[in-house]
Amino acid sequence: MLQSRKLSNQPFLGFPNKSPLTPLPDLFFSALLPQISSLAELKLILHIFWLLYQKREPLKFITYKELVADKTLMEGMGGVSGSTELLRDALESAVNRGVLLHLASDRERELQDLYFINTESNRRVVNKLQSGELSLADALLQEKPYMKEEKPNIFALYEQNIGLLTPMIAEELKEAEKLYPASWIEEAFKEATSLNKRSWRYIARILERWSSEGKGSGEFRRDFKKKGATFKERYGHLVRR
């Protein structure tokens, strides 16, 4: 006779309306997910995507040391007993499947296992590191100046601070990019995220306020008025996030 088993954990209470999002490639769902039968491997891959999305370094990788020290991941792997073996097996499977790239590196005078998401740019870097054409220290130093020089556009700012783009939001961002200076847009995103107001609606209101009340010298406000209807008047009915 079957008996119901009481769950020890509290049920999940659901997602907040403005919960931050971690993007995943469409190929993850269409090509990769159907192939994965191991729950441990699936948990590992999703967790690595999430961890790497939090990193702001241009050359993004995760070390075995970081993974094994991650309490959330290791508990998801089955707790303390046997979890490191499950982690090793899941990593090996993800590498063999082609999801991750593995590199053994003498980093900080210690042999470490580094893992990268298998992308075209990461493959080029890993190949150069493996061949000795490039050192890890040099790769990190070479990437940093490039990232400092390039300013993120409005679409990158949205994905970094809010989440995945929808077609409707993309249209609103295009219009905002035409109406407001790039420096204003970047500052508006910073102000919103510092207040944990991660929504396009809130950012659009900041920009609308600056355009109507003035910001700095107020020169842009005068120029802005010459353009006719404000962003809010023209596109306010479309702003959802």
- pTM passes above 0.85: no
Looking at residue 1, its pLDDT comes to 32
If asked whether residues 169 and 76 sit together in one domain, one would say no
If asked whether residues 143 and 164 sit together in one domain, one would say no
Looking at residue 233, its pLDDT comes to 55
Total number of domains constituting the chain: 2
Q: Are 89 and 40 in contact (CB under 8 A)?
A: yes
If asked whether residues 205 and 171 sit together in one domain, one would say yes
Segments of the chain assigned E as strands? 62-63, 100-107, 110-117
Structural domain contains residue 186: yes
CATH number of residue 62's parent domain: 1.10.10
Reported residue count of the chain is 241
If asked whether residues 135 and 181 sit together in one domain, one would say no
Per-residue pLDDT of the chain (241 residues; tens, 9 = 90+): 333 333 356 788 888 877 788 889 999 999 999 999 999 999 999 999 999 998 888 789 999 999 999 999 998 887 655 689 999 999 999 999 999 999 998 876 778 999 999 999 999 999 999 998 888 877 776 544 333 345 678 988 998 888 888 888 888 999 998 889 988 999 999 999 899 998 999 999 999 999 888 776 444 444 444 444 555 555 554 444 4
If asked whether residues 173 and 194 sit together in one domain, one would say yes
If asked whether residues 169 and 190 sit together in one domain, one would say yes
If asked whether residues 45 and 92 sit together in one domain, one would say yes
> Can you give the residue range of the structural domain that contains 179?
154-238
Looking at residue 122, its pLDDT comes to 93
